[in-house]
Amino acid sequence: MELLKKLCNASGAPGDESEIRQILTDFYSQMGITPTTDHVGNIFFVKEGKPGKPIIMLDAHMDEVALQVTGHTSEGELKVAQLGGIDDRVLASKHVLVGKEKIRGVIGLKPIHNQKHEEWDVVTPTNALVVDMGCKDKAGAEKTAPLGTTIVFDTEFEDWGEVVKAKSFDDRAGCWAVCKTMEMETECTLVGSFTFGEEIGMKGAVFAVRRFMPDLVVSLEGTSAGDMPEVPEHQNCARFRYGPVITFEDRSVIIPRNYRLLLEDAAQKNDIQYQYKGTVTGGTNAGRMQFENGGTPCVVIAAPCRYIHSPVSLAAKSDLEAMAKLSKAFIQRVDKEGLPQ
């Protein structure tokens, strides 16, 4: 889990993923693979296979949900907007890291002593919150964190035994799984594709798939585990510790039936516990990639993570490891049998 720890502890707001690119470059250098990049912030690592064998793109996005500075108050605080979808209710009083210098700050709101009684049960929207770094005035705040500065949650990775805690499992879990998958031996060409800006509209996906024109995309993600007491079972996206999640379809993509069946069979033949995504919600890079090159078949495999898109989330080691194992097993089947017809 050391690689996952490095990935989760690094800062990677949408459009500001340089720390993640460096960690990945260091990892792949041990495999003798040098990176290629593009002008928008994606980074790729290619493990060449045999001519005539399928080109398989292993897709994960580097960015995490974050905040961006939109203004400065006369008291020296920062006004912010969301980068990606964050529940306003999880923001108040959270510790954050501001900018590349990782200046510590805290998200503040009007004290309860100054609120009217009717305000107590009202969720404070992000645009009414501030980030306080301790600056004494507006000039100090502007100098320390100019407009456009990105802000991420200040959360340290912790190993709790069977479970790990961190921010940004969406999608550093997928980044980790791509790295683990590419350690396998195969005659297929594997393209480790790590994209920018997924959380603000899957920005890097199109550039990646157009560049390499893969025969197949395996999108690896961290998805929401909703097995909470107040969530009805039929509304639950996925369950914690029940194995990797296979998608039928979501709001962005429909998985071709023959590819999904091969993925399921690969799991069954390798005794990998898996589950289906229980809701038609969310979206991944696959939603953009499927439309390219005359239609690119995609499958989505995800690790169920609790409390994603928040300052802290949980992932079960067994789910993470099974996600990487299923990705390898699926590619082995494609290597042996070819692409599904």
The DSSP string of 102-150 is TEEEEEE---GGGS-GGGTTSPPPGGG-EEE---SSHHHHHHHS-TT-E
- 244, 301 contact by CB (below 8 A): yes
Question: How many CB atoms are closer than 10 A to CB 95?
Answer: 12
How far is it, in rounded angstroms, from Cα 286 to Cα 1?
26
Strand partners, 314: 165, 306
Q: First-to-last CA distance in the chain?
A: 37
- Is 118's pLDDT higher than 90? no
91-105, 225-239, 272-286, range with greatest mean pLDDT: 91-105
* Helices and strands of the chain, counted as H and E runs: 8, 17
Q: What is the pLDDT of residue 74?
A: 97
- 3 state SS of 195: strand
Please work out, in degrees rounded to the nearest 5, the angle formed at the alpha carbon of residue 278 by the alpha carbons of 182 and 242. 55
Q: Please report where in the chains the tokens 């690896």 appear, as a residue.
A: 220
Q: What is the pLDDT of residue 151?
A: 99
How far is it, in rounded angstroms, from Cα 273 to Cα 220?
17
Q: How far is CA 75 from CA 107, 122, 124, 141, 268, in A?
A: 14, 25, 20, 9, 60
User: Domain 2-64+167-337 belongs to what architecture?
Assistant: 3-Layer(aba) Sandwich (3.40)
Torsion of Cα atoms, 286 then 288 then 294 then 298, to 10°: 0
What is the percent of the chain where pLDDT is above 70?
Answer: 99
* Mean pLDDT confidence for 136-151: 98
SS (H, E, C) 65-82: CEEEEEEECCCCCEEEEE
Q: What is the pLDDT of residue 261?
A: 97
Q: pLDDT class for 112, splitting at 50, 70, 90?
A: confident
How many Cα atoms within 13 Å fall on the side-chain side of residue 195? 30
Boundaries of every domain in the chain: 2-64+167-337, 66-153
Instruction: Select the more confidently predicted residue: 119 or 213.
Output: 213
Please determine, looking at this structure, whether the domain spanning 66-153 carries the CATH number 2.40.30.40: yes
Q: What are phi and psi of 329, to 5 degrees?
A: -65, -40
- Is 162's pLDDT higher than 90? yes
Please work out, in degrees rounded to the nearest 5, the angle formed at the alpha carbon of residue 170 by the alpha carbons of 167 and 174. 120
- Choice among 15-24, 128-137, 193-202, 232-241 with the minimum mean pLDDT: 232-241
Token readout for 81 is 């907007």
Q: What is the pLDDT of residue 47?
A: 98
Q: Tell me: the pLDDT tens digits for 50-84?
A: 999 999 999 999 999 999 999 999 999 999 999 99
Q: Please report where in the chains the tokens 């600056």 appear, as a residue.
A: 135
Torsion of Cα atoms, 49 then 61 then 331 then 27, to 10°: 60
How far is it, in rounded angstroms, from Cα 314 to Cα 229?
17
Q: Which residues have a Cβ under 8 Å from the Cβ of 245 and sit 6 or more positions away?
A: 223, 237, 238, 274, 275, 276, 277, 301, 302, 303, 304
How many Cα atoms within 13 Å fall on the side-chain side of residue 192? 26
